[in-house]
Amino acid sequence: MSDEAFAAVVEALARRDLTSMELDRRLERAGFEADVRAEAIARAAGAGYLDDARVALERGRRLADRNASDAAIRVELERRGVEEEAVAAAISALVPETERAERLSRRIGGGARAARTLCRKGYPEDVVERVMRSVVAE
């Protein structure tokens, strides 16, 4: 049974990067017992197939490339079951939040529309204000 669970893990990871929690849920839905799931996940991690920190970093970068705020990235990674330490490491490796906000604001053209977009994307109020001041100063 554990070989079947491990095969299911490898098959799932071949399609896309998943976290340990996401894999555990998939295996649970497939009917595997908790101890078998834990063994398969540990085996995949030991073989280097599974790395929540790597998943967090890659997902964080993709979201940052789409101008997501740190808060939005944090929520997404936590939803996927990434531990706080890996979330913090992923966010600290990203382009600074203010730079992402400025890039998005310039792309939109500044003004109230940009401010609304930044707020909607979860940027903190102080970042929105700083970006709006810098746009006005330019």
Which domain covers residue 62, as residue numbers? 52-92
Torsion of the alpha carbons at 56, 21, 45 and 85, rounded to the nearest 10: 40
70 and 106 co-located in one domain: no
Closest among 50, 56, 51 to 90, alpha carbons compared? 56
Is residue 85 located within the same domain as residue 56? Answer: yes
Report how far residue 21's alpha carbon sits from residue 51's, in angstroms, rounded to the nearest whole number. 11
**What pLDDT digit, counting tens, does each position of 24-57 carry?**
999 999 999 999 999 999 999 999 999 999 999 9
In this structure, the answer to whether residues 88 and 106 fall within a common structural domain is: no
Alpha-carbon gap, residue 83 to 77, rounded angstroms:
8
The answer on 101 and 88 residing in a single domain is no
Cα–Cα distance, 27 to 137 (Å, whole number): 54
Q: Could you report how far apart the first and last alpha carbons of the chain are, in Å?
A: 64
CA distance 34 to 31: 9
DSSP state of 100: H
pLDDT of 135 above 80: no
Residue 116 has pLDDT above 90, yes or no: yes
The structural domain count of the chain equals 3
Q: What pLDDT is stored for residue 75 in this prediction?
A: 97
Regarding whether 63 and 29 lie in a shared domain, the answer is: no
pTM of this structure: 0.88
